[in-house]
Structure 1
Amino acid sequence: MTYTVNCSILLTELPLLERPAAAKAAGFDAVEFWWPFETSVPTDVEVARFENAITDAGVQLTGLNFNAGDMPGGDRGLVSWPARSTEFQDNIDVVAGIGGRLGCKAFNALYGNRIDGETAEQQDAIGAENLATAAAAIARIGGTVLLEPVSGAPKYPLRKAQDALDVIVRVKQESDAENIKLLADFYHLAVNGDDVAAVIEKHAKDFGHIQIADNPGRGAPGTGQLPLGRWIARSRALGYEGSIGLEYKEPSETAFSWATRQRVSP
């Protein structure tokens, strides 16, 4: 099984740039991050420090988010946010640059909340245009743009897999983009009431990425009631060949205990 550690939600007791090395020390060779900077266009020094932390640790960056705004403050992406559309567009080349230098191929573009005073139609039109622009830039480095349903954000319009798939179809119809796929976060889908097993049966071969956490609590696998192992195995059987993103909340001391038990079990 190929796991990749999300260093934006795990190992948070450590400074951000120390987390790739900690993931490596825990036995993992791959990491992923939400946007690790405060602005869409960080300084060259900031970017170099981030890239060096990954290369020095000897891990592969497998996933990176576009700037999603102030996540702790409730923002969930800039893609469909009219007033910040330019900010998202400015972020695209920075993301592609990091991806090209580090060999990262998957980039999560959080769609954005509904904004008071803006119509859904206007936001969706801007969202489709921005996703097409991002996909074109990411295609130049052989990468894929991911679109993710999210839970816990009442104003975020993509809640179930079909919501995101509908946007993906629109982008493909309105542009030449073929490199935009569903990010299937099994935790978010389950919390939002989606039929995860049915989504897997219909779309597993087309998943761009899988992320996992257990429910309730968004904890480590085995702390809740979701059949994550069965869902992963079925996705594999139906053609998903990518990594599994570990995107859950757990103290560093016990963050990977389940994986240790899995490796030593018969």
Structure 2
Amino acid sequence: MPGRPPHRQAASMTRTKGLKKAQWAAMRLLLGTVGRLSEGVRIGYRHGFDSGSMLDHVYVNKAQGSLGIGRVIDRCYLNAVGWRAIRARRELLKDVLRKEISERGGRATVLDVASGPGRYLQDLVAEHPAGALRVECRDLDRAGLSQGERQSAQRGLVGITFAHGDALAPQPPADGAPDVIVVSGLYELLLEDDAIAASVERLRGLLAPGGVLVFTTQTRHPQLEFIANVLPNREGVPWVMKCRPVEQAERWARDAGFAEVASRRESVGLFTVTTARG
């Protein structure tokens, strides 16, 4: 059976692209109007849907909004598969860090180079005796850092500090090399593979002897097209992410000189947490 003539195929593809553009435009309009009744959507438009402030709202997982319907929208928003996976990633990350801290006798120095407010790190500090952990949270998002400072002060936490810093050009901590360096939710936002490989190598050089690098990888996401066409990131441009196989992430760690590399997958199945040591 003969196929379509080339000019008809081209016309069909053009119509499909046009419909897609109209669909994304309608979704952007809906989210930017009615969607703003949701506190999560408001935070996304104010700070970026990839921001630390956004993640903090996702971690709390409490629907908030205006006029009643806003809370309903926010609950639907918070139940999206990506946010559920990020909450599962946080729990896995906390388990991994607890193990690392336990192996060091319950005392460790931790550096998170892209922390946002660092709520999960605050939780870890709260679980240990005062002064047992020294945690430095760094980020380029000053709003997220200020939020973290307020939260930790309200909780009366000791040993956690917040500092402005570039995760891709990290400076050594002033109080000595860290036992654990964390990179959570950053590499998923980087589109250039070479940038991640260089970051892993650079961070290895900051670790104390016997230290461990803990980082996350997004291996798949069913809503990448929606996110890239509808949601703005912290810079106000489309939020484009890149998924990678965990084997590639592990290879970067080994190429950087880490001898022991292992990964675990969170329960929803979109992210892995990798530990690299040696």
TM-score range, shorter chain: 0.3 to 0.5
TM-score, normalised via structure 2 length: 0.32
